[in-house]
């Protein structure tokens, strides 16, 4: 190990074309024997070896996996050379098929272009009423819990809100209880994904039945949209996809189903777990809630900025997409290190966001990092909860808007009192609270 290695940083000037330092296999064996989580091993590799480190997990088809956490290396992989580091087979392919999250090459580019206009600038305005409607529905439910003193699960509530928001945006209709129940299958399949075949393999048993339920919901929604029954807030994203099918033969019913399920999955699990973490973090840091509310009166820019900073600081602690896997498409030199074609590369925002070499006192919940100029590290590779480069999150503005609007409804007079809090986190496709989050409101 180089003596000048500092956590997360590159170890000083790197002579071009050097081998990536590898974590001692004895430490990997020790970790495996102890039944640890991959994040523990990655944290050890970052601490011992710095911001580009190799770890032999025994899973890479082409040698050890390269862990990337240094901001300049993160930018190299995701933003500067996305053609050299590509998505291979997406872990959620069984569920999302050829949707934009998993697609590659020209197909991805076409799919992304169509959706991009729906999620940026003026395209975003059409969601305002839908987001506000879903936030009002959630706030009414919370008012009921406050009246009755009933115990409810904060994580489950956040999931219902995020699902309702994206469903309204896709179909133009609020989420009805029957569809909500059926879409419970999405969470079950997502939970099973890490143990399922990533590519080509067919689902069996319970998972196959859940996938069939999801397909049934999707085809009902597609049929309803095709019949022209737009919801109270006008046509949804599904209508945009169906219109595209009129002129572009690649938009088959199958691809429309895949995009629908992709947006449902990408668009609610992430937001729901972020909002759940946010409530847990505020429970531990009540002063942060008070300061956000004191930043300005209801509806003011000051209040909105402060509430958004709560979301950003939560995403710094718990970026839902805690790893971004890529595969080296060709030989490359990454910040001086040699990378062979075929190498598995894992960018890990979670570790970048908690690196004491990059962030001051990273263990402290301090939303003002995102409001006070100069408090954030200058390198854009230091903070990437929504990814970077051409494959960055399509729903960034959507996610920030729905989170802020919901919190503006809930924060002023609804503070969950947790009956118990989960011990830690579950690191799966996303990083979620590792258990139930029962609470009451008073
Ligand atoms: C807090 C909430 C969210 C977080 C933290 C998040 C995070 C991410 C990240 C990190 C990526 C890039 C993955 C990679 O590079 O491998 C991504 C991609 C994506 N996200 Fe999000 N996301 C969130 C909410 C949403 C929402 C609300 C939507 C839809 C309305 C959405 C739709 C997508 C799509 C479609 C992609 C794939 C883009 C592509 O491959 O071209 N996300 N998201």
The ligand 1 site (C-beta within 6 Å) comprises 100-101, 112, 166, 262-263, 266-267, 270-271, 274, 315, 319-321, 324, 385-387, 391-395, 398-399
196-248 pLDDT, tens per residue? 765 546 677 788 899 999 999 999 999 989 887 666 777 789 999 999 999 99
User: Which residue's CA lies nearest to atom 1 of ligand 1?
Assistant: 271
Distance 272 CA to ligand 1 centre (A): 13
Distance CA 28, CA 11 (A): 22
- The residue ranges of every structural domain in the chain are 18-361+386-440
pLDDT in tens, 54-70: 999 887 567 899 999 99
The packing angle between helices 396-410 and 301-317, to 10°, is 110
Secondary-structure class of domain 18-361+386-440 per CATH: mainly alpha
The protein residue whose alpha carbon is closest to atom 31 in ligand 1 is 395
CA 386 / ligand 1 centre spacing (Å): 6
Distance (angstroms) between ligand 1 centre and the Cα of 400 equals 12
Q: Tell me the CA–centroid distance for residue 399 and ligand 1, in Å.
A: 9
Structure confidence by residue, pLDDT tens digits, 238-278:
999 999 999 999 999 999 999 999 999 998 999 999 999 99
Instruction: Look at residue 135 in the predicted model and tell me its pLDDT.
Output: 96
pLDDT of 158-205, one tens digit each?
999 999 999 999 999 999 999 999 998 888 888 888 777 655 466 777
Q: What is the pLDDT of residue 8?
A: 63
pLDDT in tens, 100-155: 999 999 999 999 999 998 998 887 888 999 999 999 999 999 999 999 999 999 99
Distance from residue 436's CA to the centre of ligand 1 (Å): 24
Q: Is 85 in contact with 41 (CB distance < 8 Å)?
A: no
Residue 407 Cα, ligand 1 centroid: separation in angstroms? Answer: 20
Is the confidence at residue 2, as pLDDT, over 50?
Answer: no
Q: What is the mean pLDDT of residues 413-439?
A: 94
Pocket test for ligand 1, best of 96, 270, 322, 432 (most atoms within 8 A of CB): 270
- Structural contact between residues 417 and 441, judged by C-beta atoms closer than 8 angstroms: yes
* pTM, to two decimals: 0.94
**What DSSP string describes 143-161?**
HHHHHH---EEHHHHHHHH
Q: How does DSSP classify residue 359?
A: S
């Amino acid at each position: 190990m180089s003596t000048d290695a500092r956590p997360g940083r590159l170890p000083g000037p790197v002579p071009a074309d050097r081998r990536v330092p590898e974590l001692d296999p004895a430490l990997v064996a020790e970790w495996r024997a102890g039944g640890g989580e991959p994040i523990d091993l990655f944290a050890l590799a970052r601490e011992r070896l710095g911001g580009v480190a190799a770890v032999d997990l025994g899973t890479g088809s082409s040698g050890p996996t390269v862990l990337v956490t240094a901001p300049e290396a993160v930018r190299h992989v995701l933003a500067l050379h996305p053609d050299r580091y590509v998505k291979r087979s997406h872990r959620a392919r069984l569920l999302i098929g050829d949707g934009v999250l998993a697609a590659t090459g020209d197909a991805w580019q076409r799919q992304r272009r169509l959706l991009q206009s729906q999620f940026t600038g003026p395209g975003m305005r059409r969601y305002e009423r839908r987001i506000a409607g879903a936030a009002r529905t959630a706030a009414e439910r919370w008012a009921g819990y406050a009246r009755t003193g009933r115990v409810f699960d904060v994580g489950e509530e956040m999931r219902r809100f995020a699902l309702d928001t994206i469903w309204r945006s896709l179909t133009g209709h609020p989420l009805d209880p029957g569809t909500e129940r059926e879409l419970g299958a999405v969470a079950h399949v997502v939970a099973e994904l890490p143990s399922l075949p990533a590519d080509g393999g067919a689902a069996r048993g319970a998972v196959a039945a859940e996938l069939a339920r999801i397909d049934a919901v999707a085809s009902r929604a597609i049929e309803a949209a095709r019949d022209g029954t737009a919801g109270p807030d006008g046509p949804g994203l599904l209508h945009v996809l169906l219109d595209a099918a009129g002129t572009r033969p690649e938009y088959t019913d199958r691809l429309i189903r895949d995009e629908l399920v992709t947006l449902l999955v990408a668009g609610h699990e992430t937001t729901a777990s972020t909002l759940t973490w946010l409530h847990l973090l505020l429970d531990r840091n009540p002063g942060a809630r008070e300061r956000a509310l004191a930043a300005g009166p209801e509806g003011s820019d000051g209040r909105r900025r402060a509430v958004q900073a709560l979301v950003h600081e939560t995403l710094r602690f718990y970026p839902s997409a805690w790893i971004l896997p890529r595969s080296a498409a060709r030989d490359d030199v990454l910040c001086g290190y040699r990378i062979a074609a075929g190498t598995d590369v894992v960018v890990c925002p979670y570790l970048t966001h908690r690196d004491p070499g990059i962030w001051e006192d990273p263990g402290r919940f301090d939303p003002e990092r995102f409001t006070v100029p100069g408090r954030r590290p200058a390198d854009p590779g230091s903070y990437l909860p929504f990814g970077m480069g051409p494959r960055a999150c399509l729903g960034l503005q959507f996610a920030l808007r729905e989170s802020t609007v919901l919190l503006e409804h809930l924060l002023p007079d609804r503070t969950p009192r947790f009956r118990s809090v989960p011990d830690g986190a579950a690191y799966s496709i996303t990083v979620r609270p590792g258990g139930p989050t029962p609470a009451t409101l008073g």
